[in-house]
Chains A and B, each alone.
Chain A
Amino acid sequence: MTDTKDTSAQPPAWQAILRGLGPRGLLPKIGAPLLALAISLLITMGLLRLTGADPISAIQGMIDYGTTENSIVDILNRATRYYLSAVAVAIGFRMGLLNIGVDGQYRLAAMLAAALGGAVVLPAPFGQMLVIVAAMLVGGLWAAIAGILKVTRGVSEVLSTIMLNAIATGLIAYLLNDQRLAEERPGSNNVATAAIPESGRVGPLNGFLSSLGIDLPGQVYGLLPVAIVVGVVFWVVINHTRFGFDLRISGLSPSAAQASGVSAKRMVVVTMIASGAVAGLIGMPELLGASYEYSLNFPAGLGFTGITVALLGRNHPLGIAFAALLFAFLDQTSDVLQEVDVPKEIVGVMQGIVVLTVVIVYELVRRWEIRSQQRAVASELATGHDLAKEGTS
């Protein structure tokens, strides 16, 4: 009897993996990711060896290139995009909602916000705010469709968000046309919204960083701090507010949440909107800080990267930050691998290995911890009660 009770109290493995449940003790918390990284590094080196390359020089080459100042800037910018995307995904994960639609949400949001920013000229802080708020609104509303479909018609959000991705792609293709939202550019192979005027842009962060004594070349996204703010807000809301509690509880046990007065339907819609609103931010650093327009060259597919980064980061704001930086580093340095005759596809393999090892190691460590706790409890019970002692021996 006690046995079944114990297992039912533990969420099944997939839920634990998805929600980012891991070991609770401090030592395993730090040790598990390090162990996972060490294991994945070993596997990767073995693979590099198999492809005929020298693993040491390959990884050395990646580190050398990845630590040049130019690369650091690109890695920071890349990580900013990954981070926002992963947080958007993690908000859903925390409640057991799989928002696969982050990709469509951020692209549609960026496109419409870019068109708005190119058409409306407002003085300095208001133009930027208008674009950002518009993007969050569009992202949130687009995600809300999936939420509403789920609570009213019982449509799985997995299916509806995937469909909405396709619809967003079609919608963008329809609107990004010089008879509609795009600008006329004779003879161009590109098609883009009107550029956001000077006053509506966000300057690079380099000036601020150099006042701190960090001099970097290129342009660090001016909106990088937004990612940090989003991470902090995510952490506070999830862990220290009624809403966050409701969200986690709804995810862990919908029936328990219902019983304690949490409206599951409302939570689904609100969570989807929150996830979509953060998704709306993904394109903003690039739009306001680098490209100033939405064109065919606008980065695509970030929503899918976010799913992997969120899994790797265990849906924890800090974990996601490390995961985003790691993935950004790997992607940034993939070009350099060819120096040592390694096809850059190996980076995709590396990323897969890292995610799998982290997921597996976390789960193993978590189980080991649970078992050792149970043993500890059992032995304490055993010393405390004669009856139990008789029973165990």
Chain B
Amino acid sequence: MRLGVKSTLVAVTGAALMLGASACGGAKTTSGGDDGGDKKTIKVGLAFDIGGRGDQSFNDSAAAGLDKAKADFNVQTEDISAKPDEPDADKEARLKLLAGKGYQVVIGVGFAYTNAVNKVAKDYPNTKFLVVDADQCKVEGANVLGACFAEAQGSYLVGAAAALKSKTGTVGFIGGVNVPLIHKFYAGYKAGAEKAKPGIKVLPAKYLTQPPNFEGFQNPALGTEAAKGQLDQNADVIYHAAGGAGIGVIKTVAAAKKWAIGVDSDQYNQPAVAEAKEQILTSMLKRVDVAVYDFIKSVGDGTFKSGTKQFDLSNDGVGYAPTGGKVDDIKTQLDDLKKQIVDGKIQVPAK
């Protein structure tokens, strides 16, 4: 009987786990209708990868772009999240659902949407599609735009900042999930640190979880543990590329009075880590919001161009955040490195 209770519990927990996993976020919002009837309303549909709105990171950055567009233009928006147990077919179905309902602008956030957008765009020639983080920076179709980001370049600069600010000579890196995308962040970071201060010790990257467990982008407790580990190894600057889990990293590092480096958006201004902001050295900016906003704008004013668009240091699609003035003293060095990358004198490794 004792086993019985346990087994039932486990079965029920398993069921609950599954239900929890299948319950993903989504929200529909309409606005912007009040600022005039002179312009046609654009209907924008945005499909997230798993995580969705509220991940304090990548998806939220896309959502910020969407919200800004909603505030500035006459648009109606809808966003839908993905489920972890879905194959490509479900992503296609989601895009078809949006396009079929008359959304003229459809955005797939995350490289996983690349194939799905390429396929669905053919069936809806009058709908404009955007893939954020287009895989291998390749898309197909006259109505598709792919946005690619040079994460390694931005990470290179924050790596240099970390090395220049480190007193112990050891800097750390915490990645959310062990996937190629996050490897790029580490590669750039390591190269930048070693360039700025030869002989600096860059700790091996710590990845919080292995795919398909994407908790490493969500669970701050994991970030906290990993940050403690790297602090114990004498790191005094730690860069995280771990989405929501990075909140744990920043708070832990700040509590130890060491430097943390944020990611994706300017985390100095983020309410979730407001208490730790004085210990945020800088943030590696990845302007997904700009990509989304510009795309919606281009469709709105008829300047849409298909193909791919590279967001790198040269057009400030990636970069570092100077907010808070913590990197003012090394700004000239960072800007010099930036110029060398833009001029092609420094090749940033992405692997």
A88-99 near B? 1/0 per residue, CB < 8 Å = 000000001010
B138-165 near A? 1/0 per residue, CB < 8 Å = 0000000000000000000000000000
State which of B24, B87, B213, B350 has its C-beta within 8 Å of the C-beta of A297. Answer: B87
A298 touches B87 (CB 8 A): yes
User: How long is the Cα–Cα vector from A188 to B88 in the complex, in angstroms?
Assistant: 17
Which residue on chain A has the smallest CB distance to residue B179? A296
A12 touches B210 (CB 8 A): no
Q: Which residues of A contact B25 (CB under 8 A)?
A: 343-345
Which residue on chain A has the smallest CB distance to residue B81? A344
Is there a chain B Cβ closer than 8 Å to A206's Cβ?
no
In chain A, positions 47-105 with a C-beta closer than 8 Å to chain B are 65, 70-71, 74, 77-78, 81, 96, 98, 100
Q: Which residues of B contact A107 (CB under 8 A)?
A: 212
Given the known interface contacts A14-B8, A187-B350, A355-B15, the answer about A341 and B28 at a Cβ–Cβ threshold of 8 Å is yes
In chain B, positions 5-38 with a C-beta closer than 8 Å to chain A are 5-8, 10-11, 14-28
B1 touches A189 (CB 8 A): no
In chain B, positions 34-53 with a C-beta closer than 8 Å to chain A are none
User: How long is the Cα–Cα vector from A326 to B83 in the complex, in angstroms?
Assistant: 17
Is there a chain B Cβ closer than 8 Å to A305's Cβ?
yes
B26 touches A338 (CB 8 A): yes
B22 touches A297 (CB 8 A): no
Is there a chain B Cβ closer than 8 Å to A290's Cβ?
yes
Given the known interface contacts A74-B93, A291-B88, A345-B23, the answer about A301 and B180 at a Cβ–Cβ threshold of 8 Å is no
Which residue on chain A has the smallest CB distance to residue B85? A301
Given the known interface contacts A173-B178, A188-B136, the answer about A351 and B7 at a Cβ–Cβ threshold of 8 Å is no
In chain A, positions 158-175 with a C-beta closer than 8 Å to chain B are 158, 169-170, 172-173
B328 CB to closest chain A CB (Å) equals: 34
State which of B4, B18, B87 has its C-beta within 8 Å of the C-beta of A307. Answer: B18
Given the known interface contacts A189-B179, A291-B88, the answer about A348 and B15 at a Cβ–Cβ threshold of 8 Å is no
Is there a chain B Cβ closer than 8 Å to A191's Cβ?
yes
Q: Which residues of B contact A225 (CB under 8 A)?
A: none
A301 touches B8 (CB 8 A): no
User: How long is the Cα–Cα vector from A344 to B19 in the complex, in angstroms?
Assistant: 12
Is there a chain B Cβ closer than 8 Å to A300's Cβ?
yes
Q: Which residues of A contact B86 (CB under 8 A)?
A: 299
B177 CB to closest chain A CB (Å) equals: 9
Given the known interface contacts A100-B10, A296-B211, the answer about A347 and B178 at a Cβ–Cβ threshold of 8 Å is no
B154 CB to closest chain A CB (Å) equals: 16
Given the known interface contacts A12-B4, A218-B89, A338-B80, the answer about A98 and B11 at a Cβ–Cβ threshold of 8 Å is yes
B26 touches A301 (CB 8 A): no
Given the known interface contacts A12-B4, A296-B212, the answer about A335 and B23 at a Cβ–Cβ threshold of 8 Å is no
B7 touches A158 (CB 8 A): yes
Is there a chain A Cβ closer than 8 Å to B194's Cβ?
no
A308 touches B80 (CB 8 A): no
State which of B6, B15, B210 has its C-beta within 8 Å of the C-beta of A308. Answer: B15
Which residue on chain B has the smallest CB distance to residue A173? B210
A216 CB to closest chain B CB (Å) equals: 13
B4 touches A15 (CB 8 A): yes
Is there a chain B Cβ closer than 8 Å to A31's Cβ?
no
Q: Which residues of B contact A344 (CB under 8 A)?
A: 23-26, 80-81
Q: Which residues of B contact A187 (CB under 8 A)?
A: 136-137, 350
Is there a chain A Cβ closer than 8 Å to B278's Cβ?
no
A74 touches B89 (CB 8 A): yes
A70 touches B96 (CB 8 A): yes
Q: Which residues of B contact A298 (CB under 8 A)?
A: 87, 212
Is there a chain B Cβ closer than 8 Å to A304's Cβ?
yes
Which residue on chain B has the smallest CB distance to residue A305? B18
Which residue on chain A has the smallest CB distance to residue B15? A308
User: How long is the Cα–Cα vector from A308 to B137 in the complex, in angstroms?
Assistant: 39
Known: A12-B1, A189-B135, A348-B20. 11 other contacts (CB 8 A): A14-B4, A18-B7, A100-B14, A189-B181, A300-B84, A301-B18, A304-B14, A305-B18, A343-B26, A344-B24, A355-B15
17 residue pairs A–B, Cβ–Cβ below 8 Å: A18-B7, A18-B11, A65-B97, A74-B93, A77-B87, A98-B11, A185-B136, A188-B136, A189-B111, A299-B87, A301-B21, A305-B22, A335-B93, A336-B97, A343-B27, A344-B80, A352-B16
